[in-house]
Each structure stands twice: as structure tokens, then as C-alpha cells.
Amino acid sequence: MRIWKLGFVICVWFLLFAVESCLCRFMVENINLKVTSSSEDLKGSYKCALANFGIPRYGGTLRGLVKYPKENQEACNNFTDVSFKPDNPGALPVFLLVDRGGCYFTNKAWNAQNAGVAAILVTHETDDLITMDMPEHDPNATYLQNLTLSSVFITHSLGVSLKKELEKPNPILVTLDWTEALPHPDERVEYEFWTNTNDECGLKCDNQLNFVKTFKKVAQTLEQNGDTRFTPHYITWYCPEEYTSSDKCKSQCINHGRYCAPDPEEDFSKGYTGKEVVVQNLIQACFYKVANESGKPWLWWDYVTDFSTRCQMKEHKYDQECAHEVIKSFGVDTKKIDECVGDTTADTENAVLKAEQHAQIGSGTRGDVTIQPTVVINNRQYRGRLDNKAVLKAICSGFKEGTEPALCLSYEIETNECLVDNGGCWSDKVTNITACKDTFRGKVCECPVVNGVKFVGDGYTHCEASAALRCQVNNGGCWEGSKEGRNYTACIGDHTKGCECPSGFKGDGVNSCEDIDECKEKKACQCSKCKCKNTWGSYECNCAANLFYLKEHDICISAKDVNTSDGWGFAWVFFGLIAIGVVGYIFYKYRVRRYMDSEIRAIMAQYMPLDGEVEVPVTRSHGDI
């Protein structure tokens, strides 16, 4: 039974044609596994290899406790009798140590995932690290879609040390670290998508199409904003010269055996041929070239999704005519595409496909591209399922920290670390406002902005609405009440914090403010001729006939010479005068002399300075007098 593969399937096919040139420099993508344990020997960082399935956590980390099952150590059977689910919230997830062999890697992963394991560490007999991949033809492959746990391959020696340490009662804590899985040198990410127009290869093809459809919008936004530079690529092989006239090469290659693709059904007698696949690949590559030259490389995503919908193999529409229809619908010049495709029967090179064959060969940190579909980000191969969110996460981790585009910080790629206890961040029990923010790198504790009000604080133990608008959110956490058609609040907008009962009330301002009975407490309206009546938040004071109550100064004054018919009219004149006084001293004096008779001046002079030696108090609260 083939239990693992290293892209050998394609290599073997390649060997068929070009034995001497198949070097297949396959690159195993590693990440760090940090072991924290009481044993000094075991402590440290180890390399481990990423699997090409499951949902990777590029940019993030995952911590857990290592366990090694007593039975079923290869994890080829289900773990119905054991559960590795963390038993209480906040408990660390389990990383299961699993021996290689007995079944597909994906079977081990699936059994472990169903038992509540967060990651599997697969170990074997040597210290070579390999990339675990999905089986090419698993009849029960539907579960592959649901495989989400992280899988890594560790060395034999680390496996042995872990097992030895597990015999002791000490827990072993490990951290898988994807933060440095991809280089992130600058504020632009270069990435490649190695794909294929073949739509009849089962699960892999369905995954690929699904990825293109779900990732399109994000890819186009990133490209249009200049955050990424994307290039699509197509793998082709060539037919060795001595076989160019064979039927096999003729049906699978174009340009006299120079560019070939495998038969979609792996059956030469039916359906479409490899030749037709190469032609469609070439048309897509040319479409990208032409679109890129016109400054709109993102049109490629539209073309590919539309082509895959309109020109399917199973509907017998996988041909050049259909491709032309789609090209035209984007207003792209079909002549330019035809020019780029050239004569596929001629014994000449095609510039685009020649460049594609060169690009297949790895360079620098990137190995040869042998698995497809595959994504290469900043010249490193992405490992994991082709899931739109996981790929976006990986791309996001390719930006220099702090330069990630907004898309990377959106809800789309949340890690859900805020769902449990607000991720340990500050939160307000009453309003459910939390400082926990989900990002592709995991949660961050950052005081939020709610309804435009910025909260400030450390994000962990406290956050407070900052000045100005803070009263708009939950009334700043302060008391508020309304009665008798009047509203009162203990939140003062221009204070940066705290609550204060409004005048006429007493209390802590947070939970309660109680009406002060000004009449009973002898706080106001105490003159001999006054009649006091308490109201909610205030009071009413009525003076005897011909006298008017001046609330500001809590006095009754005569207004016999003032030409007003009621107390309010007088008050209006009075307040008007105060306002005028503020506007300008001279103007004030002039108006006062003109409108106020000496008697009123005399009475008022007892209570407030009129000559300006002291500033005129414009407003004051009740308790001040």
C-alpha cells in the first residue's frame, strides 16, 4: 500500500518522457516545534515538516499537551473509547503522537480529529522529514474536505525522546509555530498559483475550482490595491525526441512534443486528450499575459471562473470556440490571444510555455513544482488544503508585520479565539463590549471603537471610552433617568471619565442618583415670602405678589419698574444681561444703566458684583450659594 507520496506520481509520468532530466528537487516545508518540558534534554526547538492537507495556521501558533495513545498507536482505527477533547474550557488541546505506517496519513489525521485532537505529530524510523500528502485515489475521500487539524511530521529521535519523557508523570507542553513559515520581507506579497484547466480529475479538480471561485474576490481586491503580485502557472512536460512521432505523444503534446499534459481520464481512447488540456492551459496563460499588459491582471480570475462554468468537459464544451466566447465577454482582444497561442501544430517553440517550463524548476527557497494545484507564496510552497481562508492567512503572513492590508484583519479569517472568555481580554459584562479582536495571527487585546467612540486602556484589564463621545455608549456606564417628561444623566460629555449626578440629585452617579428634596433639606427657596415645592430633579419657588424669584441667586426681588408681565420675562432680561456682560464690559455697562433702575441694582449688588472687579459668574450649581 502506498502510504505517502512526494509528488512521485507526476515524476513517474514525467520519467516516461524524460528520464535523464527528472531531478524532482522536492522541498519539504518545515516549521518550528518548541518543546517546553521539565526535562533539560528535551527542551528546545525542533524542525518538523508540514503536511499537505488539513488547515494550516500560517502566521499563528498552536500550543498543546503531548499524549501518546496506549493502543492504536498508528491511529489507523477510530478512538471510540478514548477522548482527547480538552475537558474544560481553557484546558490545553491535545497533540497526539502517532507512529507512521498501517494506513494513509489522512486516515490517522481523521481518526485523531474525531477524538478531539488538535494536532498530530507523526514519527517514523529515520530522521528524514517528509511531506505527508493526501492519497491520490482514496475511495472514501469525502472526509478529506472536513480534515481541519494540523499535522506535522517529526524526526525519529524527537519521537523517541517524547515517548521516553511521557513515561514520567510530567506534562510535555509543545508549541507549533507558523509565524516564520513564510518569509515576510516587505509590504508586497508575490504569489503564484500552479493550476490546470483539467476539470475531470475528481476531488483535486473540484477543490481547485472551488478555491478559484471562493478566492477570486479576495485575490482581485489584493491585486487591485497593489498589495500582491499574482501570477498563474501551468505545468507541462515534454516528449523525448525519439517518441515525438508516437501516438501517445501526438495525442498529449503540442508543438511537436514540446509541451504535453496527461490525458484527463487517463484513457487515450475516450474523452478529451492531453493535447486539448495543454491548449486550454496555454490560452489561460496567454489571457493572463494580455490582461497583465493592459494593466488588469486580475481579469484572469474572472476568465478562469467563467471558463470553468461555461466550458466544462462533461458538457463537451471544453474547446477553443467556447474559450473565445468567454474571452470576448471580457472585452479582451481575441486576436492578441491567438497570436500568443500561435500555431500549436508547428515545430517551433512557444514563448509562453517555454517560460512556464523554466518556472517549474525551483530556485532559491522554492523546490520544483511537482504537486498541483499548488500555491507558492514569497517563493515558498504553501502546504495544506487549498482552502480560501487558509491561503489568505498564509498570504497575510507574508507581509512585513504592520503592513498587512485591511483584508487580513477582517472577520473573514477570524480564529475564533475570542469566543472563550473573550480571549483573556478586557470586557464589559453589561454591554458585552470586548477588547478581544480576532485576526489571522490569533487574538489581540485592543480597546475597541464602538459607534465611533474610541476606548482607551491596556486592553487586558481596562478600557474606557475616551472623552467627547463616551456618553453615547451605554451612557458612559453612568446613571440616567427620565420622569415627568424630563431626562437626566450622570454622564458628563467633556469629562474623560467618571459619573456625576446632575444638580438636583445625589448619589454615586453610576448605580443611582436620587432626587434632592430642596425644600425639605432647606437648600433653596428659604426666604420668608417664598413657597417651596419639590419636583423631580429640581424645585419650584413662588414668591409673594409683585416679587419674582431669581433661581440663580435664590432670592425674591421686586420688578415693579420692569416692564414685564411675568417672572419669566424678567428672568429673560436678567440672563440676557449676564450674557451681554460676558460679551463686552462696555456694552454691558451701557445696557445695565439703560435698563435697570437703581433699586434693582441695589438689591442685586448685595449678591453679585456689578462693576466688573470680579468676574461675573455665568453659571453655577445649586449648592454654591
Ligand X SMILES: *[C@@H]1O[C@H](CO)[C@@H](O)[C@H](O)[C@H]1NC(C)=O
| Amino acid present at 284 | Q
> Least distance from C-beta 430 to ligand X, angstroms?
7
- 432 lines the binding site for ligand X (CB under 6 A): yes
Element (DSSP H or E) covering residue 602: helix 598-607
- 294 lines the binding site for ligand X (CB under 6 A): no
Element (DSSP H or E) covering residue 190: strand 189-195
Given candidates 21, 245, 403, 482, which one binds ligand X under the rule CB under 6 A?
A: 482
Given candidates 126, 142, 451, 621, which one binds ligand X under the rule CB under 6 A?
A: 142
Given candidates 88, 126, 146, 269, which one binds ligand X under the rule CB under 6 A?
A: 146
By CB under 6 A, the residues from 303 to 322 that bind ligand X are: none
Residue 49 backbone dihedrals phi, psi, to 5 degrees:
-100, 135
> Least distance from C-beta 462 to ligand X, angstroms?
19
Given candidates 61, 73, 175, 231, which one binds ligand X under the rule CB under 6 A?
A: 231
Judged by CB under 6 A, which stretch of 73-81, 177-185, 301-309, 612-620 contacts ligand X?
73-81
- 221 lines the binding site for ligand X (CB under 6 A): no
- 365 lines the binding site for ligand X (CB under 6 A): no
Instruction: Choose between 229 and 317: whose C-beta lies nearer to ligand X.
Output: 229
Contact between residue 542 and residue 512 where contact means Cβ atoms under 8 Å apart: no
- 143 lines the binding site for ligand X (CB under 6 A): yes
> Least distance from C-beta 143 to ligand X, angstroms?
4
Cα torsion for 147, 149, 153, 154, to the nearest 10°? Answer: -160
Judged by CB under 6 A, which stretch of 143-151, 264-272, 342-350, 613-621 contacts ligand X?
143-151
Given candidates 39, 45, 80, 512, which one binds ligand X under the rule CB under 6 A?
A: 80
Distances in whole angstroms, Cα of residue 255 to Cα of each of 52, 217, 483:
34, 35, 88
- 487 lines the binding site for ligand X (CB under 6 A): yes
> Least distance from C-beta 47 to ligand X, angstroms?
31
Q: Is 550 exposed, middle or buried (0-12, 13-18, 19+ CB in 10 A)?
A: buried
Which residue bears the cell 409673594? 544
- What secondary structure letter does DSSP report for 250? H
Which residues, 6 or more positions from 10, have their beta carbon under 8 angstroms from its beta carbon? 235, 370, 371, 372
Element (DSSP H or E) covering residue 457: strand 453-457
Judged by CB under 6 A, which stretch of 76-84, 209-217, 496-504, 574-582 contacts ligand X?
76-84
Distances in whole angstroms, Cα of residue 613 to Cα of each of 53, 451, 608, 609, 610:
84, 47, 11, 7, 8
The separation between the first and the last C-alpha atoms of the chain, rounded to the nearest angstrom, is: 96
Judged by CB under 6 A, which stretch of 140-148, 326-334, 456-464, 612-620 contacts ligand X?
140-148
Contact between residue 128 and residue 97 where contact means Cβ atoms under 8 Å apart: no
> For residues 40 and 142, what is the distance between their CA atoms, to the nearest angstrom?
43
> Least distance from C-beta 104 to ligand X, angstroms?
8
| Amino acid present at 474 | N
- 78 lines the binding site for ligand X (CB under 6 A): yes
Instruction: Choose between 176 and 282: whose C-beta lies nearer to ligand X.
Output: 282
Q: Is 325 exposed, middle or buried (0-12, 13-18, 19+ CB in 10 A)?
A: middle
- 431 lines the binding site for ligand X (CB under 6 A): yes
Instruction: Choose between 143 and 243: whose C-beta lies nearer to ligand X.
Output: 143
Instruction: Choose between 77 and 309: whose C-beta lies nearer to ligand X.
Output: 77
- Three cell numbers written together for 229: 503580485
**Within 253-298, where are the H helices?**
274-293
> Least distance from C-beta 558 to ligand X, angstroms?
33
Contact between residue 245 and residue 407 where contact means Cβ atoms under 8 Å apart: no
Judged by CB under 6 A, which stretch of 135-143, 262-270, 322-330, 601-609 contacts ligand X?
135-143
- 451 lines the binding site for ligand X (CB under 6 A): no
> For residues 295 and 509, what is the distance between their CA atoms, to the nearest angstrom?
61
Instruction: Choose between 139 and 402: whose C-beta lies nearer to ligand X.
Output: 139
Q: 539 forms bridges with which residues in the sheet?
A: 534
Judged by CB under 6 A, which stretch of 33-41, 155-163, 289-297, 320-328 contacts ligand X?
289-297
Using CB under 6 A as the criterion, which residues of the chain lie in contact with ligand X when the complex forms? Answer: 77-78, 80, 139-140, 142-143, 145-146, 231, 289, 292, 297, 431-432, 482, 485, 487
